[in-house]
Each structure stands twice: as structure tokens, then as C-alpha cells.
A and B are shown apart, each in its own frame.
Chain A
Amino acid sequence: MGGKTDVWQGTLALMVLKTLEMMGPQHGYGLARRIEQTSGDQLQLNYGTLYPALLKLEQEGYIRSRWGSSENNRRAKFYEITKAGQRQVRKATAEWEQATEILARFLTPAGEG
């Protein structure tokens, strides 16, 4: 597992929101697995840290939750993105793209730009 990266500070929220936007309502475990899969198993996600992050998003009103039953009939709490959450995804995506672009200019040798 040595090749895996820890989740960078502050990016987990965006990953969660984006995943929920793409996949629709998910329970915590499914969300964790999905994030690992999306990263191509490159990310080392401590599942426990997902829950405070979900709580924070819910407090901020970007997602909402309700109890339901999973595909193999277990009771689970499902999270769903809200309108505010979708707006937040667009905003954060734009910010993130801008940040990477700026960073890219530094990292790419000057002549090639």
C-alpha cells in the first residue's frame, strides 16, 4: 500500500460532493468505496474521517441525509446532494481548476508555455 496518497486537506469535501452529484444518493460506506475506486485505488482513505466531513457538509446545507435500505437490504443512511451543493461543486471546481492551472505554470518549464 506504500504507493497510496493520503487525502489532501480540504479536497475530501469536493470529492464527496462530486461523487454524490455523479452517482446520486449514496450511503457512507458506498461513498467511501466509490471515492477509492474513482481515484483508481490511488487514495488512502481512512473511512472514519468521512463521517465528520459528511456531517460538516450537511450542517452547511450542501447535502441532506435520510435513512433507507441498501442493495442487500441493510438499513443505511443515504446522502444526497442539494441545490446549494451543486452550486458549490461548480464553484469549487472552477476554483480548483484555476489553482491547478496556476500551479502548472510554475511547474512547467517557461519556454514551453
Chain B
Amino acid sequence: MRVIRALWMRLRGLFAGGGAEADFDAELESHVAMDVDEGVRAGLSLEEARRQALIRLGGTEQTRQAYRERATLPLVESILQDVRFALRQMRKAPGFTVTAVLTLALGIGANTVIYTLVDSILLRPLPFTHQERLMRITGNNLVVSPKGWVRALNEHSKAFASIAGYGPDAESNVSDGDAPDRVFGAKVTVNAFDTLGIHPAAGDFFSAEDDVAGQDHAVVLTYGYWQEHYGGSSAILGHTIRVDGIPRRIIGVMPPGVHFPYADTQFVVPVSYRHDDPTEPWQFFDLRMLGRLNDGIAPAQAQAELGRLHGILLPLFPWQMPDIWASDMTVVPLLEAQTGAMRPRLLLLFGAVGLILLIACANVANLMLARATAREKEIAVRSALGASGRRLVQQLLSESVVMGITAGVVGLGAALLSLRLFVRMLPAGTPRIQEVSLHCGDLVFTLGASVLAGILFGLIPSIKMASMNLLGSLRLGSRSLSGSGSRFGLSTMLVIAQISLTVVVITAAGLVLHSLYRLLRVDPGFRTDHIVTAEVSLDDSACKEKGRCSAFFSTLLNRASGMAGVESVALANFLPINGSENNYVYDAENHPRDARQGALLATGRTVSPGYFEVLGLRLVRGRLLNEGDASGTTHAVVISEHMAQRLWPNEDPIGKHLLNVVDEPIPAIWVPEKASVVVGVVRNVREGSPGSDFGDAVYLPMSPALEQPVMYVLMRSHITPSATAAGLRREVASIDSLVPVTRVRTLDEVVATTVAAPRALAMLLLCFGVLAVVIGAIGVYSLISYIVSWRTREIGLRLALGAQRWQIVMAVVRQSLILAGSGCVAGLVCTLALSRILRSFLFEVTSLDPVTLSVVPVLMAVVALLAAWMPARRAAAVDPMMALRAD
């Protein structure tokens, strides 16, 4: 305690200013005076008394020094002194300071932003108890499983404390006595919240009884939904709302910050079992799994156990499952599973901004070097007066650290201002995007980066300066006529390194940008222009009343076709490019299989006959679906060219049969009457994203057997999208005013969102590429202009001896081009070495992409020319007489 108190007092002493010293001077004076009084009283002369008093004291100056050392902290004081000196130096050369601080601030700011994203999305733990024990259980042969499987694993696994399942992210009609909203929700097994280890913010979570069909009418809200719709009132507990037409009691609220199972989830309902039907738990493959590991169990051990359980539990299915199903259950930490796709992209961006910081450091190091040369004499004098090498380095380093921290503060401000902007640039589906915020750790990172940057760029110049031939510079007194070659050696190397790093960043940006261009140019297989899409959703339970859904939608189709400005209308249960998860599981004619094989998969889509016309999907063979197929009696389906080729290469696909095997014992019993008949083949379309390969696609008619509560409307119109949407809303309301029309988008927008992630990556890299080029250009510019100013006398002499001004300009420009050229070569070599990292981000572009590899050097040449332009003009304007006379 006493020590801390003393330390604190001394720290205060640092900033006390002159008052304390004056006080002590007075005390000392009175001390000496009293001693002298005594001496005089003892009979000494005034002089002698004073002399003896001072001897007894041990010298006033020494006493003062000892007192000062105790009053403050000498080490801190010397650092403060350096800092004050550094600030003075920075003020003395404002141009230099502003350039250095700004370039460095840009580098630090970009790093802070990207680090904040990396930290918020990839590093910060999920808001669950012992979240490191939470694992996703997935596999290539196991995307979704039936609830029976989840329950069986939960009961048998010893590695997992519990295993829970959660259903797909689905929108439902939620109504609280008024017109329903479309709200995202999911179903979860009743043990899900215990598995996560969270406690309700209000009410309770599901109990074991909630998993009995018929007693499962409970719903748990997310904290956000609760706040927004019920103002966080606990009075709503026990209140009943209708979810897709089913009344459900609100029993609890999730804690704040928990978005489970999906980022946009607003409510969850329990997964329930019908206890009278033993096959029911095994029929619907719609759950994903997560589990909590028992203490001390490694993911690999758990995975091994699941592998053993697979063989034991597979026979629990009421029919024989293919062995391959779920044979590769994999255990992945939940955090990793959630952020999987974003991880490499963010790390790439982090790498890019790291390079930018290095470029900025090189810049400032160079500026410091240039200034060091200008301050040679000052350093020489200091060292001649007895400053040690260490003390000199400390002083110079503190200058650069002060500059680094100043830049850090500016950069942090820039990061704070631009963070939201960057977040908006990320694709909407980015995991944990709503949690992005600047935390304490990020500030520490910024501070660390600033100080490190300061040391990094301060070390080179300060060591060089401290080891300079100072005697020489004192003796010479002034600049020599021409700079010796080695004078700029270090600077030149720094600039070349800088350019090569810039080249690495912009080559990466260029490659990714070119990939994006290729991606956007891909023909998805259908027309996307002038099409408005919207989702029209009946209650999930609406189709229980046979024919109600199909009647609604056929009325809607009729009315929408009659809307002014609408050329053609179609309905589909999935939008084009968005249906990759809607599997049509089937057996095909002439493709027999045994029980060990899985059935075939294609993308299934239920469509109205107009679908092909609206999208401009060309018929290749046979006929399209028509009104007659809607009765279901024709069993007609249309398939894609790719599927026809794969199933029946060299045969006529028309008239061949397919048999849907969903919910059927496997393999299907071949019943030709129940099978569908291929009546036509259409062109291929892409699913998922324009970058994906063509897949198999099956188009099914909207027969009564396939009626669905939620359909997308696609309208080709020549009026504005908003007018088209307004028309549609009117038509829907005229049929049933309680049916919501949501997600109104043009098909162009729908397709654009599928490339949102590569687009965001390309745009961010482009930003950073520009940043790198700007900072690199400043580097080239400052070196060239420094060389020019150093050589003013030499240039003057040359001009006096008859050199032409254009020759001087050429010499300067040539120097800049040589720098850029060497930097380019080094940078391209580095990029090639790094090409393995980049490969996974590229689409139809190799890392040896000729376009990028030729554009980058041209760009660098232009930058070099621009950077050399001002210094070259200054060089050409040198007045030979002035230059030679000046010293």
C-alpha cells in the first residue's frame, strides 16, 4: 500500500511543474540561512559560516538533484522528455508528420476494422456455457436426419452429455389476433436449451412433456422478438399466439444475445413424437444435430464413438437404410461450424490489411530515414556532447513510437467511423454479423499494432542514425556535391519492398475481381430481367383442408395474369437458383439398385405451366407441362438436359419413368401406375449460385397431391417492380386479406444475392488494393522527391554543363520506373508463391491469369509515372546558378 501511495505521489510529481521545485528551493534556502545564523553566532565570519554550511549540506545542486530524483520517476521522466521532444519535432515538420501519420493511420485503421470483424465473428466465444464443448454433428452423407435418429444417438452416446436436433430456418405466419406477420422460426428438440446450457430470460424452456404430439403447443420467443412485440413484459407468459394457424402458448424467452438455431430465428417450437406410431419418428429427414461433449472428451473421441454407434443404431430404422447414410458423422466445434465459410475470406482480408500496414510502415521508415540524413548534424552534436548510442536510439525510437501511437489514435477514430460501413459491405448472411462491435481486446490490438509499427519503422532509421559516421558529417559541414550511391540504398530497398507488397495486394484483388466478373457473366440458364418475385404464404396448416391451397393459388394465378402491365405469371415452390436444398429423391427406370445404395437425388420444383415461359426456359425435347397435368392424372414431369443425359445417355428420355421415394421403404417397390412419366426435357439451369455446375432438375406440376401453403409468384412485367408488387398485393388481398405477401424482389436481385459473398470479398479487396496503391505511391513519390532535392546541386551542375531539361526529367522518371519495375517483379514472384492460398477464392481464373498479370504492371507503371511527375518537374525547373551558389 505504502509503496503504491509513494509511486502515485511520484507520478503526480511528474506533472507538478515548477511549483514543487520552487518550494524546495525555498526550504533549502531557509536551511542554509539557519545554518549560517548558527555559524555567525559561534563567531565565524559570514563567508566562512556559509562555506561550512554548504559543505555540511553536501552542495545545493547535488541536494536538489537527489530531491528531484525522489520527487519524480527518473526513467519515466526521461521518456517523457523524449516524448515532448518528439512532439516538438513532429510540429516542426508538419508536412512530414501529416504524411507519415495519415498513411500509418490508414494502415492501422484498416487493420482495426478487419481485426474487429475477425474477433467478433471468428474468435469471440458463443454465448453458451462452456461453449467450447458444443459440437455440430454433420457429414457429407448426413445433412439432415429424422428425429428418431437424434433421439437414438442422444440415448446411446457416452461421449456426449446430450445431443439435440433443430429443424430448418422457416418462415411462418404468426398472428396475435390480428393479420399475421411472416416470422422466422424453427423447431428444436426439447433438450436443445439444456444442451446449449442457457437459462430463460423469462418463463421456462421446454420440458420433457412438450415432446408429446398433441401436448406440444408451446413456443419460446427470442429476447429481441419479446422486446419488440411485447415490450419485454412478462405478462405475455401463458398468452396464446397462432403459429401457422396452430395456437401455441408462450412459455418462455431466450436470454439476450442468443440467436438460436439461426441468426434470424424469432421463435422456436418443440419437436414432438406421436407415441402411437413407431415409424413416424423415422420418416422426415429435417433435423440438424448439435451436442455437448462430456467433460474431458475430445471431439475426435466423440467422432469415433459415433462411428461405432452408426452400425448399432442403423437397424433401428423401420426399413433398411443404405449403409452409406450417416456413415461419416463428423464432430466440428459449433463456433467453427457456424463461421466455416466466412473464415477463409476474413483471414484473406486480414492478410491484405496486414500487408497494407507493412507498406505504411515502410513508408514512414523511409520518411524517417530521409529526415535522419537531414538531421545528421544534430545527431553528431548530441553524440559529441556525450549522448550514448543507446540513449540516441531510445530518443529516436520514442519519436517513432509517439508517431505510431498518434497514428493509432487517428486510425482508431477512422475505424470507429467506418466499421458500420464495412459491416454493411459484408453479405447479409454472414454469421454473427449482428454481434460485430469494437471490444476492449480490439483496442488492445490497435494499441499493440501502433506501438509495434512504431518500433518496426523506427528501428531501421534509428540504428542507422546511431551508427552514422558522425565525425565525418561534422567535419564536412555541408552536403557534398552528389549523394553517394549507398546513401539511398536502404531507402531504395524499402521502396522496392513496398511496391512488391502493393503488387501482392492488388494482384490478389485483381484476381478475385476478375473471378467476380466471370461469375457475373455466367449464364444461369434462364432470363432474369424484368421479373418480379414475391412469396405468398398461407398458414402451414392450410393444406390440411384438401384442395384449399391449390384452389387459392389457381385463383391467384388467374387474377395475376389479368393484372395491367403483366405479360406472364408463374408459381413455383422455390425460386430459380434457390432450390438446391429441395431434394427430389427417386429411382429411375433402367437404374435398378440394391438396398445398400442410396436413391438418386435431383432438385425438385413444383411449378405452374407458365414457369418455363416467364423464365425463358427453352424446351429441348418433348413437351412442357400444361394445364392438363395439374389434375395429377397424367403423372407428367419435365427434367433437365443434364439429368436426361446422365440417366439415359443415347436413349430417348421421353416416356421414361421416375418414382419418388420419399417416405418409402428403400428401395421403392416399382409401381408403374404411381411413377411419373418424363414428358419433356428443358435446358439446364444453375442452382445455388451462378458458379455451381449444372445439376439434375425435375419440374413437377402443381397437382392436388403436391399442393403447398407457400408459393413464390414470378411475374414478367413491363411496368416498375414496385407497381407490379402493389398490384399483386391488391390481388392477394382481394382473395384473402390475411395472407401476407413478402420478400418482394426482382429476379436480378435474387441472383445477385447468391454472389453476395464473392462480391463483398472482391469489393473489400478492391478497397484495400486502392489503399495499398495510394500508400505505395506516396512512398515512391517521397523517395524520388527526396532524391531530387538532395541532388539539386548536381542537377544544376549538369544543366550548367549543357544537359537538356528533358534529359533531367527522363532521368528522374527512369529512376521511378526502375523502382516500380523491380517491385513488380518481386511482388509477382511473391504472389505466385502465395497462389495456393488464393486458389479457393477464384472462379474460372487461375492464379496465372494473363489479364490480371498484365494489368498490374501497367498500373504500377502509371503509378510510378504519376509519383515521379512532380519531382521531375521540380528537377527540370532547377536554376543552375541558384543551385550552384546555394549551400
Contact A28 to B2, CB < 8 A, known contacts A48-B63, A49-B66, A59-B9: no
- The answer to whether the Cβ of B486 comes within 8 Å of any Cβ in the partner chain is no
Whether A51 lies near B30 (C-beta < 8 A) is: no
Whether B30 lies near A75 (C-beta < 8 A) is: yes
User: Which of B67-75, B181-189, B326-334, B703-711 lies at the binding interface?
Assistant: B67-75
| Partner among B30, B56, B66, B71 whose Cβ is within 8 Å of the Cβ of A27 | B30
- Taking CB atoms and an 8 Å cut-off, the chain A residues in 27-63 that contact chain B are 27-30, 46-49, 51-52, 55-56, 58-61
- The answer to whether the Cβ of A64 comes within 8 Å of any Cβ in the partner chain is no
Task: Please give, as numbers and ranges, the residues of chain A lying within 8 Å of B35 by CB-CB distance.
Answer: 29, 47
- The answer to whether the Cβ of A5 comes within 8 Å of any Cβ in the partner chain is no
- The answer to whether the Cβ of B810 comes within 8 Å of any Cβ in the partner chain is no
Task: Please give, as numbers and ranges, the residues of chain A lying within 8 Å of B9 by CB-CB distance.
Answer: 58-59
Whether B26 lies near A75 (C-beta < 8 A) is: yes
Q: Which residue of B lies closest to A70 (CB)?
A: B34
Task: Please give, as numbers and ranges, the residues of chain A lying within 8 Å of B5 by CB-CB distance.
Answer: 59-61
With the chains together, A90 CA to B341 CA distance in Å?
70
- The answer to whether the Cβ of A76 comes within 8 Å of any Cβ in the partner chain is yes
- The answer to whether the Cβ of B33 comes within 8 Å of any Cβ in the partner chain is yes
| Partner among B10, B28, B30, B63 whose Cβ is within 8 Å of the Cβ of A74 | B30
Q: Which residue of A lies closest to B53 (CB)?
A: A47
- Taking CB atoms and an 8 Å cut-off, the chain B residues in 855-869 that contact chain A are none
- The answer to whether the Cβ of B37 comes within 8 Å of any Cβ in the partner chain is yes
Contact A52 to B30, CB < 8 A, known contacts A47-B58, A59-B6: no
Q: Which of A28, A30, A47 has the most CB of B within 10 A?
A: A47
| Partner among A28, A46, A58 whose Cβ is within 8 Å of the Cβ of B58 | A46
Contact mask B18-31 → A, CB, 8 Å, 1/0? Answer: 00000010111011
Contact mask A52-95 → B, CB, 8 Å, 1/0? Answer: 10011011110000000010101111000000000000000000
Closest-CB distance, B838 to chain A (whole angstroms): 61
- Taking CB atoms and an 8 Å cut-off, the chain B residues in 67-87 that contact chain A are 67, 69-71
Contact A56 to B66, CB < 8 A, known contacts A49-B58, A77-B30: no
Contact A52 to B69, CB < 8 A, known contacts A29-B34, A47-B56: yes
Closest-CB distance, A27 to chain B (whole angstroms): 7
- The answer to whether the Cβ of B59 comes within 8 Å of any Cβ in the partner chain is yes
Task: Please give, as numbers and ranges, the residues of chain B lying within 8 Å of A56 by CB-CB distance.
Answer: 6, 70
Closest-CB distance, A15 to chain B (whole angstroms): 17
With the chains together, A83 CA to B31 CA distance in Å?
26
Q: Which of B9, B10, B27 has the most CB of A within 10 A?
A: B27
Task: Please give, as numbers and ranges, the residues of chain B lying within 8 Å of A51 by CB-CB distance.
Answer: 24, 27-28, 63, 66-67
Whether A52 lies near B31 (C-beta < 8 A) is: no
Task: Please give, as numbers and ranges, the residues of chain A lying within 8 Å of B58 by CB-CB distance.
Answer: 46-49
Q: Chain B at the A interface: mostly helix, strand, loop or mixed?
A: helix
With the chains together, A112 CA to B461 CA distance in Å?
72
Task: Please give, as numbers and ranges, the residues of chain B lying within 8 Å of A47 by CB-CB distance.
Answer: 31, 35, 56-58
With the chains together, A49 CA to B37 CA distance in Å?
21
Q: Which of A48, A49, A58 has the most CB of B within 10 A?
A: A48
- The answer to whether the Cβ of B62 comes within 8 Å of any Cβ in the partner chain is yes
With the chains together, A77 CA to B2 CA distance in Å?
23
Using C-beta atoms within 8 Å of the partner chain, give the interface range for chain A: 20 to 34
Q: Which residue of A lies closest to B27 (CB)?
A: A77
Task: Please give, as numbers and ranges, the residues of chain A lying within 8 Å of B26 by CB-CB distance.
Answer: 75, 77
Closest-CB distance, A37 to chain B (whole angstroms): 13
Whether B57 lies near A76 (C-beta < 8 A) is: no
Whether A52 lies near B67 (C-beta < 8 A) is: yes
Q: Which residue of B lies closest to A62 (CB)?
A: B2
Whether A48 lies near B59 (C-beta < 8 A) is: yes
Whether B10 lies near A59 (C-beta < 8 A) is: yes
Closest-CB distance, B867 to chain A (whole angstroms): 57
Q: Which of A28, A59, A61, A74 has the most CB of B within 10 A?
A: A59
With the chains together, A72 CA to B6 CA distance in Å?
34
Task: Please give, as numbers and ranges, the residues of chain B lying within 8 Å of A59 by CB-CB distance.
Answer: 5-6, 9-10, 70
With the chains together, A75 CA to B57 CA distance in Å?
19
Whether A55 lies near B71 (C-beta < 8 A) is: yes
Whether B2 lies near A60 (C-beta < 8 A) is: yes
With the chains together, A28 CA to B63 CA distance in Å?
13
Q: Which residue of B lies closest to A57 (CB)?
A: B6
Closest-CB distance, A73 to chain B (whole angstroms): 11
With the chains together, A49 CA to B70 CA distance in Å?
11
Whether A55 lies near B30 (C-beta < 8 A) is: no
With the chains together, A55 CA to B37 CA distance in Å?
25
Closest-CB distance, B12 to chain A (whole angstroms): 10
Task: Please give, as numbers and ranges, the residues of chain A lying within 8 Å of B31 by CB-CB distance.
Answer: 27-29, 47, 76
Whether A55 lies near B67 (C-beta < 8 A) is: yes
With the chains together, A97 CA to B395 CA distance in Å?
49
Q: Which residue of A lies closest to B33 (CB)?
A: A74
Q: Which of A29, A74, A76 has the most CB of B within 10 A?
A: A29
Task: Please give, as numbers and ranges, the residues of chain B lying within 8 Å of A58 by CB-CB distance.
Answer: 9
With the chains together, A29 CA to B31 CA distance in Å?
5
Task: Please give, as numbers and ranges, the residues of chain B lying within 8 Å of A29 by CB-CB distance.
Answer: 30-31, 34-35
Q: Which residue of A lies closest to B31 (CB)?
A: A29
With the chains together, A30 CA to B38 CA distance in Å?
11
With the chains together, A41 CA to B410 CA distance in Å?
64
Task: Please give, as numbers and ranges, the residues of chain B lying within 8 Å of A27 by CB-CB distance.
Answer: 30-31, 34
Q: Which residue of A lies closest to B68 (CB)?
A: A52
Q: Which residue of A lies closest to B66 (CB)?
A: A52
With the chains together, A61 CA to B26 CA distance in Å?
22
Q: Which residue of A lies closest to B10 (CB)?
A: A59
Closest-CB distance, B297 to chain A (whole angstroms): 55
With the chains together, A56 CA to B71 CA distance in Å?
8
Q: Which residue of A lies closest to B2 (CB)?
A: A60
Whether A48 lies near B70 (C-beta < 8 A) is: no
Task: Please give, as numbers and ranges, the residues of chain B lying within 8 Å of A52 by CB-CB distance.
Answer: 66-67, 69-70
Closest-CB distance, A55 to chain B (whole angstroms): 5
Contact A48 to B66, CB < 8 A, known contacts A28-B31, A60-B5, A60-B6: yes
Closest-CB distance, B593 to chain A (whole angstroms): 89
With the chains together, A72 CA to B24 CA distance in Å?
20
Contact A74 to B67, CB < 8 A, known contacts A46-B58, A59-B9: no
Task: Please give, as numbers and ranges, the residues of chain B lying within 8 Å of A74 by CB-CB distance.
Answer: 30, 33-34, 37
Task: Please give, as numbers and ranges, the residues of chain B lying within 8 Å of A76 by CB-CB distance.
Answer: 27, 30-31, 34
Whether A48 lies near B2 (C-beta < 8 A) is: no
With the chains together, A51 CA to B3 CA distance in Å?
19
Q: Which of B2, B5, B35 has the most CB of A within 10 A?
A: B2
With the chains together, A77 CA to B28 CA distance in Å?
10
With the chains together, A58 CA to B6 CA distance in Å?
8
Q: Which residue of A lies closest to B23 (CB)?
A: A77
Task: Please give, as numbers and ranges, the residues of chain A lying within 8 Å of B10 by CB-CB distance.
Answer: 59
Task: Please give, as numbers and ranges, the residues of chain A lying within 8 Å of B59 by CB-CB distance.
Answer: 48
Task: Please give, as numbers and ranges, the residues of chain B lying within 8 Å of A61 by CB-CB distance.
Answer: 2, 5
Q: Which of B6, B30, B66 has the most CB of A within 10 A?
A: B30
Contact A48 to B27, CB < 8 A, known contacts A55-B71, A59-B5, A59-B9: no
Can you report 6 residue pairs joining A to B where beta carbons are below 8 Å apart? Answer: A28-B27, A29-B34, A48-B58, A52-B70, A56-B70, A77-B26
Binding site for A on B (CB under 8 A): 2-3, 5-6, 9-10, 24, 26-28, 30-31, 33-35, 37, 56-59, 62-63, 66-67, 69-71
For the complex of A and B, the 7 pairs showing the least CB-CB separation, nearest first, are A48-B58, A48-B63, A52-B70, A59-B6, A59-B9, A29-B34, A46-B58
Given contacts A48-B66, A58-B9, A59-B5, 17 further A-B contacts (CB under 8 A): A27-B34, A28-B27, A28-B31, A46-B56, A47-B56, A49-B58, A51-B28, A51-B63, A52-B66, A55-B67, A55-B70, A59-B70, A60-B3, A72-B37, A76-B27, A76-B30, A77-B27
